[in-house]
Amino acid sequence: MTDDASKPARKRVKRKARPQRARTDSDFVAQVVADSVLLGTDAAAAKHGISARSVRRYRERADSGRSPELTASVQEKKADLVARSREKTLALIDFLDGCMREAAPIAAKLGKLYEVAGAYKIASDRLGADRITEAYVGDEKPAAPAAETPHPSGLRVVTGGR
């Protein structure tokens, strides 16, 4: 016969009970369903701190037609979300339009600057190609292009490589 006292006592681990939500009211369910229609199931679940499965259950409950009040509340919430979304979109478009109007004069100057820089790059690439061609035509091995070639205007001209 074994002695129970010789065995170490097994410690009981108390598990924390899951926090129970109060019964969901129809307003909460309607908001979750409306959000899930516009944002998607996973995003609505994350927003409201519930599982995606609960969101799908709420959608089924709202779509079943068993509760006309819930269906009406969902439609009202959807309309409100769509209206707010439209307002935010219009405000964003107005903001971006203002930014474009402010940037237009600068953009015109930048466009010219990009054209000059592009022409400058083409000319420097042409210069590098001419040097390589001259080296091959003269039956010489092509010399390694200089890393930097000073330019009379003081600008740095990089030839060879990328």
What is the per-residue pLDDT for 143? 56
Average pLDDT over residues 115-144: 68
What is the per-residue pLDDT for 162? 47
Query: What is the rounded CA–CA span in Å between residue 124 and residue 127?
Result: 5
* Higher-confidence position of 129 and 62: 62
What is the per-residue pLDDT for 100? 78
Burial (CB < 10 A; 0-12, 13-18, 19+), residue 135, is middle
- What are the tens digits of pLDDT across the range 78-116? 888 888 888 888 888 888 888 878 877 777 777 776 776
Average pLDDT over residues 112-123: 74
Burial (CB < 10 A; 0-12, 13-18, 19+), residue 58, is buried
Q: Tell me the pTM.
A: 0.46
DSSP structural state of residue 2: -
- Indicate the pLDDT class of residue 132, thresholds 50, 70 and 90: confident
* Higher-confidence position of 128 and 159: 128
- What are the tens digits of pLDDT across the range 15-72? 665 555 555 688 899 999 999 988 899 999 999 999 999 999 999 988 888 888 888 8
For the chain, the structural domain boundaries read 26-124
Say whether pLDDT at 158 is over 50. yes
Say whether pLDDT at 4 is over 60. no
